[in-house]
Amino acid sequence: MTEESARALRYLSGSAVRPAILERLVDGPARPADLVERTGVSRTTVHRTLSEVTDRDWARRVDGGYDATPVGELALETYERARARFRTIDRFEPFLSHLGPAAADLDPDWLRGADLATATDANPYYPSEWYVERLAACSNENASRTGDEETSGIGKGDPERLRLAAPVFTRRVLAVHAPSTDEGPLDEGRATELVVGDAALRAVAERYPDQVRNALAHDGFDLYAASAAPSVGIALAGERVVLGAPEDGRLDAAVESADDRLLEWATHRYRRLRADARPVTEFDDCHLSST
């Protein structure tokens, strides 16, 4: 950003009157009296602001008063877009703040229409509960699609397959993500891939061997062990994505969206995770192994 651009943003953000006047001029020519009525400020303030935006070539005198220039329209559009991005960042701060380096290449605009769940003092596990509900809803939604329906795009693969990455892995997490368990929301016939950290997987397998063995016995369940635990939770279900931000062994925030750009970002990230992980295909009392 140039110094002039920074000054322009500071100018517009310095008073709500300035963008309000410029917004009115973008709608069409207006007299100072119209702007006084529109903004509720004094005539002196309106005239001073008109002089300032005219000096910036954002407005010009015309018959009937003042009108916005094309540069003024672009300035207002840029300012409003920046404000919208900051509002999105502010709203999703509980999610973004726990993503670490993963947040650097995530555009806030991709989150604008997303749903958000955050932990509270009254219910610190609400994001995890909400995640399970959304996972079930996405699974059921995709299960209702016909086999003949064609999908395209990086995140719109086989609607019957769920692709998951879990930054936190426990017995409960395995139960939630493995098909056909009493605690999980997924149907037995649902093809599912799950990427988890190797150390966490071994800890769960040592403590709950039967549960891990039963999960691996399902033909449609593919388990992958990554050298390091995923830094962000990912659930790809057809045209929707659910993301989770971990903190202290649980989800501190989660989002769900159908934004194509966020879906693409999550799909690329998941593919890298799975490519670097090893498939876990066998289990015995001593170790987990790959074919």
For the ranges 69-78, 171-180, 203-212, which has the lowest average pLDDT?
171-180
* pLDDT at residue number 50: 97
* pLDDT at residue number 178: 77
What's the rounded Cα separation, in Å, for the pair 148 and 137?
A: 21
* pLDDT at residue number 203: 92
Do 187 and 282 fall within a single domain? yes
Ordered DSSP codes for 66-88: EEE-HHHHHHHHHHHHHHHHHHH
Q: Is 121 helix (H, G, I), strand (E, B) or coil?
A: coil
For the ranges 39-48, 153-162, 191-200, 240-249, which has the lowest average pLDDT?
153-162
* pLDDT at residue number 150: 41
Residue 146 or residue 252, greater confidence: 252
Contact 184, 260 (CB under 8 A): no
CATH of the domain at 44: 1.10.10.10
pTM higher than 0.85, yes or no?
A: no
Asked if residue 248 belongs to a domain, the reply is: yes
* pLDDT at residue number 286: 42
Contact 154, 278 (CB under 8 A): no
* pLDDT at residue number 193: 93
Do 155 and 105 fall within a single domain? yes
For the ranges 62-76, 109-123, 238-252, which has the lowest average pLDDT?
238-252
- Whether residue 215 is predicted with pLDDT greater than 70 in this model: the reply is yes
Asked if residue 93 belongs to a domain, the reply is: no
Q: Give the Cβ contact number of residue 77 at 10 Å.
A: 11
Domain end position, chosen among 84, 117, 140: 84
Do 59 and 175 fall within a single domain? no
Do 122 and 71 fall within a single domain? no
Contact 104, 57 (CB under 8 A): no
Helix, strand, coil in percent for the chain, rounding step 5: 50, 20, 30
pLDDT more than 70, % of the chain: 85
Asked if residue 246 belongs to a domain, the reply is: yes
Contact partners, residue 99, CB within 8 Å, separation at least 6: 106, 231, 232, 245
What's the rounded Cα separation, in Å, for the pair 209 and 229?
A: 20
- Whether residue 46 is predicted with pLDDT greater than 90 in this model: the reply is yes
Asked if residue 89 belongs to a domain, the reply is: no
Asked if residue 132 belongs to a domain, the reply is: yes
What's the rounded Cα separation, in Å, for the pair 59 and 215?
A: 67
Asked if residue 129 belongs to a domain, the reply is: yes
Asked if residue 92 belongs to a domain, the reply is: no
Do 136 and 276 fall within a single domain? yes
The tokens describing 235, both together, are 């659930």
Asked if residue 242 belongs to a domain, the reply is: yes
CATH of the domain at 260: 3.30.870.10
Q: Give the Cβ contact number of residue 221 at 10 Å.
A: 21
- Whether residue 279 is predicted with pLDDT greater than 80 in this model: the reply is yes
Do 123 and 189 fall within a single domain? yes
- Whether residue 144 is predicted with pLDDT greater than 60 in this model: the reply is no
Q: Residue 108 carries which DSSP code?
A: G
Q: What is the band of 173 on the pLDDT scale with cuts at 50, 70, 90?
A: confident
* pLDDT at residue number 151: 39
Q: What is the mean pLDDT of residues 30-34?
A: 96
For the ranges 3-7, 36-40, 89-93, 259-263, which has the lowest average pLDDT?
3-7
Which residue range is the domain that position 246 belongs to?
Answer: 101-289
Residue 137 or residue 240, greater confidence: 240
Domain end position, chosen among 84, 118, 148: 84
Q: What is the mean pLDDT of residues 17-30?
A: 96
pLDDT more than 90, % of the chain: 62
* pLDDT at residue number 236: 94
Do 110 and 235 fall within a single domain? yes
**How many structural domains is the chain composed of?**
2
Q: What is the band of 290 on the pLDDT scale with cuts at 50, 70, 90?
A: low
Cα separation values, 194 from 13, 221, 239, 253, Å: 46, 8, 18, 20
Domain end position, chosen among 25, 50, 84: 84
Contact partners, residue 250, CB within 8 Å, separation at least 6: 119, 124, 125, 127, 128, 168
- Whether residue 30 is predicted with pLDDT greater than 50 in this model: the reply is yes
